[in-house]
Structure 1
């Protein structure tokens, strides 16, 4: 089994490498527009990046959106690395950072095609399905303990 390195940091430290994963997954694979994917929130977010050697392979970002609420965004794993538990590892890292910063709840807009993944991690859907970047999503929340 490959040992992946996990990095947590600012946009300046990790942003370009994280965006390379997001570009491949969201823009090239899923057809999300660059304007929608590469928004102005990277600079205020904390980024989590997993690498295989020097190669970025999985990422997510986190923003505190309330006194005790963290928003998990842009969770992406390159296709060749899916099924190896990297999504779980990225989410664990994001939730740890959120808890360390005082968040008691995490929320996200999960693509409905991966809703089951988030449910297995303890997230619960709230509200109705909606479209974001042309893709069906559902808002999901999880208490952090």
Structure 2
């Protein structure tokens, strides 16, 4: 424990100015801990796994800390894998954590999905994240839908496929999603975000902010509207990226659904279905009349 606290105090108390009384808590004796050592035996990283508070609650990963000289060398990845292995061994298949905003991309790479809005903790901005170790994650409300869509956009390499009824007011006009799409467009990888809509007129009448973004970046965003009666009666909506992630809603007018940041088989299936619909849909020429 002395070595664990030495690493954590170096990172949290001395580097990040977290009050010492907040760094240590009554949970430490209950937790499963991981300690990373260099070849000379010195402690260079620490983390912990908090058991679920009650049946059905998630286990929680926390106090993840790596000494400055050892960052970017895979120490954090190794510790996280060890903690997730312990969670599986104990039958704790839902794992949650509060990530510092600077570490969100790290946890996204390990299939953790953002949940809810960001918040302040110990004077540092955080994002709640969660991963299901077996199966998909249930999306139950608008906040989770926004966080999941944002994560899928940020995880995309060069391609996004989005099937929507009318650009989903409350989702694709949310600031985090728009910012993620803006970052995707500006990444310089010649990416393309393709949207198939069932109703192209409503976003135009509502002056949807995504259309303004697309107007400035016409080489990235492409829109089509379904033309086949079969497609017009399709009840669902989804987003799939080229990194194996998806978010599927059985009822396209609702936010609840299921998602997984690493389900390449399901993502390929949705992208293939999207491509078929795309080919038989019409380009939204009226958007281009607005300069898009």
* Fold similarity call, TM over 0.5: yes
- Out of 38, 63, 69, the residue aligned to residue 74 of structure 1 is 63
Question: Hey, what does 2:123 align to over in structure 1?
Answer: 134
Question: Hey, what does 1:12 align to over in structure 2?
Answer: none
Question: Hey, what does 1:41 align to over in structure 2?
Answer: 27
Distance 2:68 2:90 in 1: 31
- 2:18 is the counterpart of 1:32: yes
Question: Hey, what does 1:7 align to over in structure 2?
Answer: none
CA RMSD of superposed structures (Å): 0.9
CA contact 2:59–2:95 (8 Å) conserved in 1: yes
- Out of 42, 46, 51, the residue aligned to residue 64 of structure 1 is 51
Cα offsets for 1:46-71 (capped at 9, x unmatched): 11001012210011000112435210
Deviation at 1:16, TM superposition (A): 1.5
Question: Hey, what does 1:111 align to over in structure 2?
Answer: 100
Distance 1:61 1:48 in 2: 6
Distance 1:91 1:61 in 2: 9
Deviation at 1:39, TM superposition (A): 1.1
* TM-score (ref. length: structure 2): 0.44
* TM-score (ref. length: structure 1): 0.87
CA contact 1:67–1:103 (8 Å) conserved in 2: no
Which consecutive segments of 4 or more residues in structure 1 shift more than 4 A?
none
Distance 2:113 2:15 in 1: 26
Deviation at 1:17, TM superposition (A): 1.1
Distance 1:55 1:67 in 2: 37
CA contact 1:57–1:77 (8 Å) conserved in 2: yes
Question: Hey, what does 1:21 align to over in structure 2?
Answer: 7
CA contact 2:30–2:51 (8 Å) conserved in 1: no
Cα offsets for 1:3-62 (capped at 9, x unmatched): xxxxxxxxxxxx221111100000000000000001111111111001012210011000
- What secondary structure sits across from 2:115 in the alignment? strand
CA contact 1:48–1:94 (8 Å) conserved in 2: yes
- What secondary structure sits across from 1:131 in the alignment? strand
- 2:124 is the counterpart of 1:101: no
Q: Which has the higher contact order (CA 8 A, sep 6+)?
A: 1
